[in-house]
Amino acid sequence: MTLAARLGPRLPARLVSALAAGLYPRFEPELRRLADFCPPGGTAVDVGGWYGPWTRRLAQRADRVVTLEPVPHLARLLASVTPPQVEVVAAAATDHTGCATLWLPPGGRGDRGVSSLVRRELHTTAVEVPCLPLDALELAAVTLIKIDAEGAELAVLRGAAHTVERQLPALFVELETRIQPLAPVLDWTAAYGYRGWVLPHDRWLPLDGFDLSAHQSRTCHVAEHGLLRRSLAPHRRYVNSVLFLPDGARPGRPAAHTVHHHVPHGPLHGR
């Protein structure tokens, strides 16, 4: 267990949320480059809100942020510490509506950010949570869907198929070979006309020219260091997410047909 995972439950949740928001752009530098793929206005979606580092940053750009977080106490925290344009849905995003089994690591709280609908060896505790597809939220003017679902990313995408097909948002998806094979998500995004991009250093590279599997194999030891250690040594890069943009777009340059509109705030069954 990492130092942050040990200290997190002992600290006030609001403090942990603030620390995560401050450290995360060093841990995940794509967050510092939001302007490259998340235009101002519209609706941004954060699937897997955790302590809210992405939600907080997205709220600085989007008119509306919809965050899905299935761990109950984290969903309550997010609803209490985020700006008014953030709407928190206390549910897991997947490809069907109902209830699902959320698997948690030892301790049964979900603070480590590795909870998932897909059970792995590190999971020892289960809790039933509400679940729904993103399409059921009927969101308008979606500019970005960020997905960190610890192995359940494909189910999230399937549940957002109509939104993706109609609105062509940017998709920022966690992909790790140590958790799941890459091919299913890559095949799905390609079928919907998306091209992948990665940020191994300071320049975006097309995924089709970057061997993500080989990179992760070489740098997998970095993934074990945890948020705090990786934030303090950002040069030790482990790329574990892919930005997917509609064909014809590239980071910092949207496709010509992509148009986003201002979105009035509307109620969801969260917050």
Check residue 36 and give its pLDDT. Answer: 97
Contact of 185 with 153, CB cutoff 8 Å:
yes
For residue 146, the surrounding DSSP H or E stretch is: strand 142-147
What's the confidence (pLDDT) of residue 259?
A: 47
**What single string gives the DSSP state of each residue in 186-229?**
HHHHHHTTEEEEE-SSSS-EEGGGS-HHHHHHHHHHHHTSHHHH
Query: Would you say residue 187 lies in a domain?
Result: yes
Res 156: pLDDT: 97
The pLDDT, as a whole number, for residue 250 is 96
Boundaries of domain holding 177? 3-95+133-246
Task: Supply the pLDDT for residue 232.
Answer: 55
Report whether 147 contacts 47 (CB < 8 A): yes
Instruction: In whole angstroms, give the CA distance from residue 72 to residue 110.
Output: 9
Half-sphere exposure of 37 (CA within 13 A, CB side): 27
**Per-residue pLDDT at 1:** 44
Say if 100 falls within a structural domain.
no
In a domain, residue 147? The reply is: yes
User: Within 10 Å of residue 244's Cβ, how many Cβ atoms?
Assistant: 28
CB 139 within 8 A of CB 163: yes
- Confidence (pTM): 0.85
Instruction: Examine residue 271 and state whether it is found in any structural domain, yes or no.
Output: no
In the prediction, which pLDDT does 151 show? 85
- Using 50 as the pLDDT threshold, list the residues of the chain that sit under it: 1-4, 259-261
Instruction: Kindly state whether residue 155 falls inside one of the protein's structural domains.
Output: yes
Residue 253 lies in a domain: no
Asked whether residue 255 is domain-assigned, the answer is no
DSSP 121: T
Q: Is residue 89 part of a domain?
A: yes
Domain holding 91: CATH number? 3.40.50.150
> How do residues 145-162 score in pLDDT, each as one tens digit?
999 998 899 999 999 999
Q: For residue 3, what are the β-bridge partners? A: none
Please give the pLDDT value at position 133.
Answer: 98
Total of domains in the chain: 1
Residue-level pLDDT at 2? 45
